[in-house]
Structure 1
Amino acid sequence: MSDAIKHECGLAFIRLRKPFSYYQQTYGSVLWGLNKLYLLMEKQHNRGQDGAGVAAVKLNVEPGYPFLSRIRSAEAGSIADIFKQIGEEFNELQKFNPEIGNYPGLMKGHLSFLGEQLLGHLRYGTQGRNNVQFCHPFIKRHTIPARNLVLAGNFNLVNTDELFELVNMDPGEFQKQSDLAAMMEVIYHFIVKADEANQQELDIVSVLKKAVPLFDGGFHVGGATGNGIGFVFRDAHGIRPSYYYINDEVVVAASERAALRTAFNVGENEVQELLPGKALIVLENGEVKIEQIIEPKERKACSFERIYFSRGSDEKIYRERQRLGYNLSKQVLEAVEFDLKNTIFSFIPNTAEVAFYGLSKGCEDYLNKIKVERIASWGNNVDPEKLHEMINRKVRMEKIAIKDVKMRTFITEDVNRNEMVQHVYDITYGTVRKGIDTLVVIDDSIVRGTTLRESIIRMLARLEPKRIIVVSSSPQIRYPDCYGIDMSKLGDFIAFNAAIHLLKERGKEDVLKELYDQCKEMVRNNQLHTVNVVKQIYKSFTNEEITKKIAELITPQGLQIPVDVIYQTIESLHEACPNNLGDWYFTGNYPTPGGNRVVNTAFINYMEGKNARGY
């Protein structure tokens, strides 16, 4: 996205099913599991730049010896920092005894993170500050092994206050800022109750069946108990992605299918999706079970995973992103009046490249159809020169924009800072015929529009095209997200600001006050979760009217070159990504009641001038 937004966390879960001696004999290293964890985390590094963490649980440890270890980092290279520290402990052991790698039992006793159960996490902070104490995994310690708990996940909860009340806990300042802290207290509450009832064997399935239905949000969570039970569970709507792979050596789970395939070199069909409401359970003896812990509800898997967040190396995601671009070709062709001779196509930023290929393919298919029709209309009277010209017609594609990653905007004075922001991207001169060519650029999505207005449009205008058309591979982002994406303030969305401008222009500002009063009344009656009142703001206008206003808002003041915007429709989004129908940020149709509470709270904050999250 040209307007960067913080997004998803990444989860890596590994449970070794063989003794460490097996991995030493089969793969030449007792550290095989840790090496796989490192690879699995690196292959999901797109999902977290705020920090990382690793926890390890050792099985069958003699009483009095440590069995649960954790390390976290909020350094710029957090994954490398963590595994460097783990590696240093191994190197120190080798200095003491160069042959220790040949003795798995000794290694397990001396290496803190040589555990059969491994949990890794990559953090993108949507709640709490970006320091190490907010990095997952979190742990709860107890003298009884079964009451030790480690937990990490990719999620947001919107009912943390209610969860703390449920376990009769008055949260401290830290806990208030962490939804994982709330989730952990609830799960731990039921673990202790279950262990008190039956100290012979902890029934983790029963624990999760009691705890998980209480969580309002989208989540993919991994955890382990101190006595060696590992688990991964997913929300009932399947909002957050979850995949796993099982063989006789290992059980692994992660947030992305492609990461599992790469790390373990397996085929697409060997990696399974953990379906909504289910849990993957690995018992102390390595037995694996898939359990339905909460009844599945209408599938609402996050569509942004397909548009932008997940790595495009997954073959299905790659095809879907191409389709997103392809589905826009008809609108684009109509916008340029089918004049491909005088139109240049490009993309900004690099993450929009795959959708760009799809858009280009759609235009090529149209052009090839025209070629066939024209040549067929000539009959036997074919002019070789004319034929040669027709056959060689192509869709014009250029690499127009290059992001200068070295640019930083140190100046805080607004006028000078805006001048510097213009140069974050550089352009390829000589690609556009001045005043003749229309320039079409595709973006993943348009969130705030700030980068478009202050940098990209100004930069493209230096090429002096006849017209600039910005194409978004996603629909208009109108509503906050509360299930893992850091989009919680209505005033940040250019679509919302466009609707506000239209209300004011048409003398309908009273609508805002009426809706604000309605929200405040809902707060008094504890009904804020019942209906999304912000939908009423958009009802007065067509998509086209809002899109036109957005185009005006992203046009820099004084620019004489016409700027237009084209958005993906909801229908074509669903056609391209049929298994990821979660679209609440576009439609306002939240899958859980907490979503309505968040959007209404965000509207109250907007009306009261509060620069605060909606959750």
Structure 2
Amino acid sequence: MPDGIMPPAHPFDFDAALSDGDKLKEECGIFGAVGVTDAANFVALGLHALQHRGQEAGGIVTHDPDEGFNSARRFGYVRDNFTSARLMETLPGPIGIGHVRYSTAGSKGAAIRDVQPFFGEFSMGGAAIAHNGNITNADALRRELIERGSIFQSSSDSECIIHLMARSLQRNIPERMEDALRRVEGAFSIVAMTRTKLIGVRDPMGVRPLVLGKVGDGWCLASETCALDIIGAEYVREIEPGEMVVITADEGVQSHQPFRPQPSKFCIFEHVYFSRPDSLIGSKSVYETRRQIGVELARENPVDADLVCPVPDSGTPAAIGFAHESGIPFGMGIIRNQYMGRTFIEPSEHIRNMGVRLKLNVNRALIRGKRVILVDDSVVRGTTSRKIKEMILDAGAAEVHFRIASPPTAWPCFYGVDTPEREKLLAATMTEEEMRKHLSVDSLKFISLDGLYRAVGEAEGRKSNCPQYCDACFSGEYPVTPADMIKKGFQMKAAE
């Protein structure tokens, strides 16, 4: 299977270098299309809309009846790689899938072999697969497969699925995928393809998102609805938890439920941060949910101040809701440099030390003399929060109050989000008051878990005996036991 043109040298990423690991990084974005002319172009556009879900690397696989399977995998942004006519001409065909990546399992370095989609040649033909999520028993599966003769080409947990499919005795690719996924634990949304079929699957709890769209006479699958919008596709519905759809240009969508039903545990952090604000989750606007989070935050944690200021860009909808509910004026006290990103020039140490100031700048005329409420989506390590607080005080603010649009992040995620070790999470080792003192702010308050549930539409808040979402990063209650991590020494939350 040709792989187009060799990847460029891995560029320096300002965002990664300056983040200090102080934001949870989304796992991946996936997209697939069938029954369209030049599927690769649709896939590239879809991946561009999903770039916020993974900026490390991307890949596309297509199939053409005359030329067979073709693929291209590259480091960096979609716009820097998959807009070249020369490259896109190597990806012909009416069916294709793609993936944008931020590594969560496997090596954290630059390894082109870890970039998805992965491809396998089976007795009944080739198949490619792109996976969003994390397999919590991948280490055990990998050891078993290697002992039985499998040869792995990557460090990614997703490759386990290809090897399990290869060992299945089922008669076709969709059935082999079902067989393989019954061995898998954890979270997965998958787009896969054969020569003629586009396949989409969600894990039985539906932790990670996947939606179905209609584009002309063809069909598409995507992590979020914003990727449907960019290609002019009609949003049809979400793929249900535990559902597999097999789509062909001639027969359309065939759906079935190959897994034992389980309670839905959709990732609640998709509402808070990961999804783009112009996407829909369960037919509900992500923007409106985040605005409502700000409303709940203001009701729970009022403060006497002069200005509500978002930490851009993820804190903006919540800040708007907070300002509306509190009656305190909203203002853009921090301006983001929208052109900050990758460069092929390695910056000097002096430039590195400018830190967050390269990405954000304070609107001094607005801030000076004000008691400022900063609204952010989360606090992870606290390093960026401290730098932003210092910038606000340097600009002449009288007081700085933090209001956080999620509960304290005290537990790592093992379902496809790059979370620091628990001891590096500020909320895992400090009380709220200790965090306030550590950040040296006048006040620090988080939305409660009940308040977050109310904001996403659960009027009764969080039902402690059966939470409707996966909220393990806040509660420490994991819907799937992280078997591999426990073997490595991770300590689960003690039963109360």
> Equivalent residue for 1:356?
319
More strand by share: 2
Matched AA of 2:140: E
1:37 to partner: Cα distance: 2.1
1:299 to partner: Cα distance: 1.0
What SS does the corresponding residue of 1:431 show, helix, strand or coil? helix
Of 449, 453, 476, the residue aligned with 1:570 is: 449
Of 242, 259, 284, the residue aligned with 2:227 is: 259
Once the two structures are superposed, the pairs formed by residues 466-505 of structure 1 within 5 Å of their partners are 466-498=398-430
More helix by share: 1
Deviations 1:398-452 (A, max 9, x none): 222224566999566xxx8996336443322233463xx4211100111110111
Once the two structures are superposed, the pairs formed by residues 15-34 of structure 1 within 5 Å of their partners are 15-16=34-35, 30-31=37-38, 33-34=39-40
> Equivalent residue for 2:300?
331
Percent sequence identity over matched residues?
21
CA distance in 1, matches of 2:54, 2:258: 28
CA distance in 2, matches of 1:422, 1:115: 44
1:216 to partner: Cα distance: 1.1
1:294 to partner: Cα distance: 0.8
> Equivalent residue for 1:520?
none
Q: Does 1:276 align with 2:241?
A: yes
Q: Does 1:119 align with 2:7?
A: no
Structure 1 pair 406–295 and aligned structure 2 pair: CA distance change class (3 A): closer
Deviations 1:212-259 (A, max 9, x none): 121111111111234x33311111110000100247711210000222
1:132 to partner: Cα distance: 1.9
> Equivalent residue for 1:150?
128
Structure 1 pair 428–288 and aligned structure 2 pair: CA distance change class (3 A): closer
Matched AA of 1:349: P
CA distance in 2, matches of 1:173, 1:439: 53
What SS does the corresponding residue of 1:271 show, helix, strand or coil? strand
Once the two structures are superposed, the pairs formed by residues 96-115 of structure 1 within 5 Å of their partners are 112-115=90-93
Matched AA of 2:224: E
Q: Does 1:293 align with 2:258?
A: yes
Q: Does 1:132 align with 2:144?
A: no
Matched AA of 2:415: Y
> Equivalent residue for 1:551?
436
CA distance in 2, matches of 1:411, 1:602: 39
Of 409, 418, 421, the residue aligned with 2:355 is: 421
1:564 to partner: Cα distance: 1.5
CA distance in 1, matches of 2:40, 2:209: 23
- Residues 215 and 233 in structure 2, CA contact (< 8 A), matched pair in contact too: no
CA distance in 1, matches of 2:27, 2:351: 29
Deviations 1:506-546 (A, max 9, x none): xxxxxxxxxxxxxxxxxxxxxxxxxxxxxxxxxxxxxxxx1
1:263 to partner: Cα distance: 1.6
- Residues 205 and 291 in structure 1, CA contact (< 8 A), matched pair in contact too: no
TM-score (norm 1): 0.68
Q: Does 1:194 align with 2:200?
A: no
Structure 1 pair 57–449 and aligned structure 2 pair: CA distance change class (3 A): same
Q: Does 1:209 align with 2:178?
A: yes
What SS does the corresponding residue of 1:426 show, helix, strand or coil? strand
Structure 1 pair 162–600 and aligned structure 2 pair: CA distance change class (3 A): closer
Q: Which runs of 5+ in 1 are unaligned?
A: 17-22, 24-29, 91-110, 196-201, 337-341, 365-394, 499-545, 556-561, 606-615
What SS does the corresponding residue of 1:149 show, helix, strand or coil? strand
Structure 1 pair 552–174 and aligned structure 2 pair: CA distance change class (3 A): farther
RMSD: 2.9
Structure 1 pair 602–308 and aligned structure 2 pair: CA distance change class (3 A): farther
CA distance in 2, matches of 1:604, 1:411: 41
Matched AA of 1:354: P
1:287 to partner: Cα distance: 4.3
Structure 1 pair 230–469 and aligned structure 2 pair: CA distance change class (3 A): same
1:158 to partner: Cα distance: 1.6
Structure 1 pair 554–123 and aligned structure 2 pair: CA distance change class (3 A): same
- Residues 27 and 416 in structure 2, CA contact (< 8 A), matched pair in contact too: yes
- Residues 48 and 78 in structure 2, CA contact (< 8 A), matched pair in contact too: no
Q: Which runs of 5+ in 2 are unaligned?
A: 1-14, 459-467
CA distance in 2, matches of 1:57, 1:302: 33
CA distance in 1, matches of 2:376, 2:489: 26
CA distance in 2, matches of 1:463, 1:171: 59
Structure 1 pair 418–472 and aligned structure 2 pair: CA distance change class (3 A): farther
